Amino acid sequence: MKYYVISDPHSFYTPMMRSLEAKGYFKEKKPHKLIICGDFFDRGNEPLEMQQALSDLMDAGNTILIRGNHEDLMLDLLNYLDANKGTDAVLRSHYNKNGTLATLCQLTGFSEEEVLKDPAPAISAMKQTVAYNKIYPAALDYYETSKYVFVHGWIPCPEANILLRYPHSTFNDWHNADEKDWKCARWMDYLSGIDFNVKLPDKTIVCGHRSTRYGNSGYLNIEDPDRLFDPFYYAGLIAIDATTVLSGKVNCIILEDD
């Protein structure tokens, strides 16, 4: 099986489609799957196009979505707005900083002022979207093949709880980690995996979330700006988040596995 893998498109529909086309995804005739390692929306200005594209890709029947921390942010934002009606505190929150409030407005057609004045209509409208009803529910915590484990940030591990000050889990098997463990792990990243030596003995972890420039510059000493946002290959991991808002591109790698 051939796997086309991208991550963190962040509402940058045009760079995502350009990358898939360049890799020959839409002309592929052999058995193949597309894996998107989370963070479908926020930051970019093409959320409506991204929503339609993801829906179409899902309908094709060979797309696997992995849940990212920005998927969690949207669902958390809806709860936050519902509990904090009529407040502008959201403007000072990480929901605004990370672009989630903007995505809510873009997908529903409500202005920021309208959301802050009375969030209920926007919340209701968001719950009618394809993103909320089709895309978010389909996103998995991870996808595993014989050689690879595909996640957004990293696999759940006690080190994530320490690093993120998220005291929760005492689990021994990441396969059986619960929802809180995965929500925490989606904020962890491959740099922490390297620093804490958290890896899988027999598989490679493929992830997004953290820009590849940190790995390429910090571990491979790459200074060439044209290569800085390329996929980062290291022992037991492949990181692919190209930080599209800075690089203008979405990385796409092709892997072969059973």
What pLDDT shows up at residue 207? 98
**Domains (range + CATH), the chain:** 2-68+139-256 (3.60.21.10), 70-135 (no CATH)
If DSSP codes are grouped into helix, strand and coil, which group holds residue 213? Answer: helix
Per-residue pLDDT at 169 exceeds 80: no
- Assess whether pLDDT exceeds 90 at residue 37: yes
Q: Cβ neighbours of residue 257 under 8 Å, at least 6 residues apart?
A: 1, 3, 145, 146, 147, 148
DSSP H or E segment with residue 33: strand 32-36
Sheet of 204-207: strands edge to edge?
A: 143-144, 148-150, 204-207, 237-239, 232-234
Q: What pLDDT, in 10s, does the model give residues 120-141? A: 999 999 999 999 999 999 999 9
In this structure, the dihedral spanned by the alpha carbons of residues 130, 26, 3 and 54, taken in order and rounded to 10 degrees, is -10
DSSP-derived letter for residue 153 is: S
Beta-carbon contacts of residue 219 (< 8 Å; ≥ 6 apart) = 194, 232, 234
pLDDT category of residue 65 using cuts at 50, 70 and 90: very high
The span from the CA of 232 to the CA of 213, in Å, is: 8
Secondary structure (3-state) at 197: coil
For residue 166, is pLDDT > 60?
Answer: no
DSSP β-ladder status, 232-234 and 204-207: unpaired
Q: What is the CA radius of gyration of the chain?
A: 18
Strand partners, 256: 2
Report CA dihedral (79, 82, 83, 85) to the nearest 10 degrees: 150
- Record the pTM: 0.95
